[in-house]
């Protein structure tokens, strides 16, 4: 039995401003019509695999659930990490969950934010690795290096495996090299990029983890003894997991075990670690430009231009990244995009929100877009999915006006219900207990005008919520 384990945690800043802490790159459509998480799941199509286990953090749970639901792959299969503890504990939670009923599947561990252009080659590599995993080997996939990359870790291969000539023993894992060393690695032909993808029996991984890092194993076992079902999520014991050391699977197990083997993979892999790497793998016009959205260029070449709203125009621009979102614009030299992290740090230090959240925010019931705000007022465009309902709530500091633009709204104010259709409106005074529901078959869209002394999202007292929020 092959059980995919998709690691969808993390909230990196390297693709800011499109990627934010509450909407990191694994949940974005960066390469095509599917998000990176959905593309990771889609490349398993045709393989004899079980429903995947997805591991993500608390803040991303509803985004992950919705994206799995869109692919009909949601069924109580999302493990929530109470805190980030790196890959070894995350995989341990998945392995312990997989073993709960006495099963011992092969765990295919994948990152949700990688691009693989040749799906057939990817699946062939997994097939070659299956025989090794069934023979109790811990398989890692080494990407056939095509350039002296300094942004990747490397794996040096050893002798051909005794189990299969499709693999090699792992001689060593090496950290990100400088340019000169990376060129030596490429010339030798003995080094692969470290992909962070693995295949092994759940029982074998847990045995090796217990041997080399019993502290991690014990903490994860304790965290899994008190799981709580919550909608489609598996909640582990927060206190026990918080006590777990943070460690990568490479350091915790793969560098120590004598059962590690590497299977080469040549499948057009990229970890999409920067805007320049995204430019490299994207379709370009004759001038080398990547254009997404409403973009006009004149006398420009080798640019990556993304326009979310409005038109973005360039004249005489070269080797540049321009990213325009509803609330931020990034203009960066393509060979310096790794330094975008310094801008993110400045935003954090200034107490701003643009590193953390988009203007458009997704919720389990739909989404809202903060289209305008000023002194004592805020305007939002709210979309509620068919059959969904916001929490029963009240506010201490703000009143609200709702105007229905599309669909039908079921509104309850202090236990009085009414139906509103297009062009109708309602007023919710400060302190009124109220709720909003979409009873129809099409999305409900409305404009919300808030007014009051304080308009923060924390001015919500929830009395009842379908999604377990407080």
**Which whole number is the average pLDDT over 223-246?**
91
| Residue 90: strand, helix, or coil | helix
For the ranges 146-150, 154-158, 321-325, 384-388, the lowest mean pLDDT is seen at: 146-150
Pairing between strand 295-298 and 269-270?
unpaired
Query: Quick check: 180 pLDDT over 70?
Result: yes
Segment 343-364 shows an average pLDDT of 93
CB 300 within 8 A of CB 314: yes
Q: Residue 344 — very low, low, confident or very high, per pLDDT cuts 50/70/90? A: very high
> What's the DSSP call for residue 253?
I
Q: What is the DSSP letter of 192?
A: E
pLDDT value of residue 470: 67
pLDDT at 467: 85
Nearest to 78 by CA among 55, 98, 49: 55
Mean pLDDT over all residues of the chain? Answer: 95
| Mean predicted confidence (pLDDT) in 175-200 | 95
Q: What is the mean pLDDT of residues 314-321?
A: 98
Instruction: For residues 107 and 91, give the distance between their C-alpha atoms in angstroms, rounded to a whole number.
Output: 9
pTM: 0.91
Inform me whether the pLDDT recorded for 11 exceeds 80. no
Give the helix/strand (H/E) hosting 425: strand 425-428
How many Cβ atoms are within 10 Å of 357's Cβ, its own excluded? 15
Instruction: Identify the pLDDT of residue 229.
Output: 77
Contact 394, 401 (CB under 8 A): no
Q: Looking at the DSSP assignment, which residues form a beta bridge with residue 312?
A: 295
pLDDT, position 280: 94
Q: How confident is the model at residue 80 (pLDDT cuts 50, 70, 90)?
A: very high
| Peptide bond before residue 17 is cis, with ω within 30 degrees of 0 | yes
Angle between helix 87-98 and helix 202-212 axes, rounded to 10 deg: 130
| 212 and 256 Cβ atoms separated by less than 8 Å | yes
Q: Six-digit token pair at 240?
A: 């026990």
pLDDT the model gives residue 231: 81
Per residue in 13-28, pLDDT (tens digit) is 899 999 999 999 999 9
End-to-end, the C-alpha distance of the chain in Å comes to 39
**pLDDT above 70: percentage of residues in the chain:** 100
Q: Are strands 269-270 and 260-265 parallel, antiparallel or unpaired?
A: unpaired
Q: Find out whether 330 and 16 touch, Cβ atoms under 8 Å.
A: yes
| pLDDT at position 160 | 96
Note the pLDDT tens digit of each residue in 104-161.
999 999 999 999 999 999 999 999 999 999 999 999 999 999 999 998 999 999 999 9
Q: How confident is the model at residue 163 (pLDDT cuts 50, 70, 90)?
A: very high
Beta carbons of 413 and 402 less than 8 angstroms apart: no
pLDDT for res 12: 73
Q: Whole-angstrom Cα distance, residue 93 to residue 79? A: 8
Q: Which of 306, 302, 305 is nearest to 287 (CA)?
A: 302
Comparison of pLDDT for 27 and 228, the residue scoring more: 27
- pLDDT tens per residue across span 403-455: 999 999 999 999 999 999 999 999 999 999 999 999 999 999 999 999 999 99
Q: What is the 3-state secondary structure (H, E, C) of 127-179?
A: HHHHHHHHCCCEEEEEEECCCCCCCCCEEEEEEECCCCCCCEEEEEEECCCCH
Confirm if 339 and 274 have CB atoms less than 8 A apart.
Answer: no
Q: Tell me how far the alpha carbon of residue 436 is from its chain's centroid.
A: 29
Helix (H, G, I), strand (E, B) or coil at 95: helix
């Amino acid at each position: 039995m092959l059980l995919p384990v998709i690691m969808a945690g993390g909230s990196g800043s390297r693709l800011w401003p499109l990627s934010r802490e509450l909407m990191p790159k694994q949940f974005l459509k960066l390469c095509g019509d599917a998000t990176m998480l959905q593309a990771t799941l889609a490349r398993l199509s045709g393989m004899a695999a079980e429903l995947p286990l997805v591991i993500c953090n608390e803040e991303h749970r509803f985004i992950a659930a919705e994206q799995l639901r869109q692919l009909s792959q949601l069924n109580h299969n999302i493990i929530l990490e109470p805190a980030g503890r790196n890959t070894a504990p995350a995989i341990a939670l998945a392995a312990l969950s997989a073993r709960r009923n006495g099963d011992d599947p092969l765990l295919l561990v994948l990152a949700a934010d990688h691009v693989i252009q040749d799906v057939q080659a990817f699946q062939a590599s997994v097939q070659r690795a299956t025989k090794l995993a069934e023979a109790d080997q811990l398989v890692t996939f080494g990407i056939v290096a095509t350039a002296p990359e300094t942004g990747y870790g490397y794996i040096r291969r050893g002798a051909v495996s005794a189990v299969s000539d499709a693999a090699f023993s792992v001689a060593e894992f090496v950290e990100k090299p400088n340019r000169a060393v990376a060129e030596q690695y490429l010339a030798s032909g003995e080094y692969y990029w470290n992909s962070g993808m693995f295949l092994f029996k759940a029982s074998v991984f847990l045995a090796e983890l217990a041997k080399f890092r019993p502290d991690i194993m014990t903490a994860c076992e304790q965290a899994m003894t008190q799981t709580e079902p919550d909608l489609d999520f598996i909640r582990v014991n927060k206190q026990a997991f918080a006590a777990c050391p943070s460690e990568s699977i490479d350091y915790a197990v793969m560098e120590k075990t004598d059962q590690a083997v590497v299977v080469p993979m040549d499948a057009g892999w990229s970890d999409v670690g920067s805007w320049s790497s995204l430019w490299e793998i994207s379709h370009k016009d004759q001038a080398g430009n990547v254009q997404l959205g409403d973009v006009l260029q004149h006398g420009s070449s080798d640019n990556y231009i993304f326009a979310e709203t409005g038109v973005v125009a360039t004249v005489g621009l070269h080797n540049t990244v321009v990213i325009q979102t509803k609330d931020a614009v990034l203009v960066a030299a393509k060979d310096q995009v790794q330094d975008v992290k310094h801008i993110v740090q400045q935003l954090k230090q200034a107490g701003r929100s643009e590193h953390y959240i988009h203007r458009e925010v997704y919720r389990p019931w739909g989404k809202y877009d903060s289209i305008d705000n000023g002194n004592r007022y805020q305007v939002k465009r709210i979309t509620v999915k068919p059959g969904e309902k916001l929490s029963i709530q009240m506010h201490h500091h703000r009143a609200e006006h709702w105007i229905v633009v599309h669909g039908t709204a079921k509104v309850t104010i202090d236990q009085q219900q009414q139906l509103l259709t297009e062009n109708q409106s309602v007023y919710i005074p400060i302190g009124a207990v109220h709720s909003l529901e979409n009873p129809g078959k099409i999305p409900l869209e409305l404009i919300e005008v808030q007014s009051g002394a304080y308009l923060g999202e924390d001015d919500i007292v929830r009395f009842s919520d379908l999604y377990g929020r407080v």
